[in-house]
Amino acid sequence: MIPEQTLEALANGFGHLGSASADLKTAHTDILSASVDQENDTVTCFALSFLAGPTLDNMKATGRVSYFFGLMSHEAYQFKGQFIETRELTESELAQSEQFCKAIAEILGSMGIAPEATMKLVGTAPDLGITFKVENIFNQTPGPEAGQELPFN
Amino acid sequence: MITEEHLPALQGMFPSWITTCSAAGEPNTTVISQVWYVDEEHVALSFQFFNKTKKNLVENPNAFATIVNPGTMAMYNLDLEFDHSETDSELFDDMDMKLEAIASMSGMSGIFNLKAADVYKVKSLKALGS
């Protein structure tokens, strides 16, 4: 089971999905929320296919995944694991991402960022699910516990 | 390579992200508070508490970062290669002062602690989606 304490940040945190090529060059791509399959310990990240190419190519070649996500409160986590598949997003996942994007737009708006600028960040709906099996979870919230591995399974 | 267009994204007003990987190929992605302009071909990143990133860079100098212009939300991807660390320089002092200001504004004073200014060569810089 993926720890309960990470679920809010998984759904509502801004994420970046990272990978590395066989020759140790890295890449990452923006993620607009994610869903969890507790039965199989997998996470599906909601990605934009036009941005995810290099990151996805690496994952297909090496299998390894890092997923960093965090809330505005600075609460943050990093999941590491094994790439499984890409798939289409479900209606429910698209609705979840839409809510996420609206919330981010409101936060950025409250910071004085113009709506047209905000749309560059969260104005395009994700069109690709990238699923990986979670193997390790690390606390990334700034402070003395940053980097500590969370008990898992 | 770095032009005036990119400078607003290098002022620490919006978080940046960096992905590194170990010699064994295990990627690590994390957020950083500041990417610092050094010159047209170099940037500096603050080394604070992301120890895995630092460990990876010792093993493998390649890194990938994303910076954001806080005014336009334009994002840029940077392919980086670790060059050297500075702990006693004007660059380090400038970064330390700025970092403390960011920490104070975000209620994290005393938690952010600059250990070194890590200088990277910028191998490529691309606007996101280009």
| Domain positions in chain A | 4-89+127-139
Asked if B19 and A76 come within 8 Å (Cβ–Cβ), the reply is no
The region of weakest confidence among A28-42, B90-104, B115-129 is B90-104
What phi and psi values does residue A66 have, to the nearest 5 degrees?
A: -125, 135
Q: Tell me the residue type at A18.
A: G
Inform me whether the pLDDT recorded for B105 exceeds 80: no
Residues in B touching A28 (Cβ below 8 Å): 17, 19, 29, 64, 66
Q: Please state, in angstroms and rounded to a whole number, the distance separating the CA atoms of residues A92 and A90.
A: 5
Inform me whether the pLDDT recorded for A136 exceeds 70: yes
Per the rule left: phi > 0, alpha: psi between -120 and 50, beta: everything else, B107 is left
Inform me whether the pLDDT recorded for B29 exceeds 60: yes
What phi and psi values does residue B33 have, to the nearest 5 degrees?
A: -85, -20
Asked if B73 and A76 come within 8 Å (Cβ–Cβ), the reply is no
| Token output for A98 | 């839409």
B88 min Cα distance to partner chain A (Å): 24
Inform me whether the pLDDT recorded for B51 exceeds 80: no
pLDDT of residue B111: 64
Asked if B28 and A121 come within 8 Å (Cβ–Cβ), the reply is no
Which band of pLDDT confidence, cut at 50, 70 and 90, is reported for residue B107? confident
Domains of chain B: 4-127 (2.30.110.10)
Asked if A121 and B60 come within 8 Å (Cβ–Cβ), the reply is no
Is the model's pTM score more than 0.90?
yes
Residues in A touching B71 (Cβ below 8 Å): 113, 117
- As a whole number, the mean pLDDT across chain A is 94
B117 min Cα distance to partner chain A (Å): 18
Query: Would you tell me which residues 56-85 of chain A have a C-beta closer than 8 angstroms to some C-beta of chain B?
Result: 58, 62, 64-68, 70, 74, 76, 78, 80
In the three-class reduction of DSSP (H, G, I as helix; E, B as strand; rest coil), residue A21 is classed as: coil
| Token output for B77 | 């991807």
ipTM score = 0.94
Residue of A nearest to B17 (CA): A16
- As a whole number, the mean pLDDT across chain B is 89
Q: What is the mean pLDDT of residues B21-42?
A: 93
Task: List the Cα angle B26/B14/A70 in 5-degree steps.
Answer: 50
Superfamily name with CATH number, domain A4-89+127-139: Electron Transport, Fmn-binding Protein; Chain A (2.30.110.10)
pLDDT of residue A135: 97
Chain B touched by A28 (CB under 8 Å)? yes
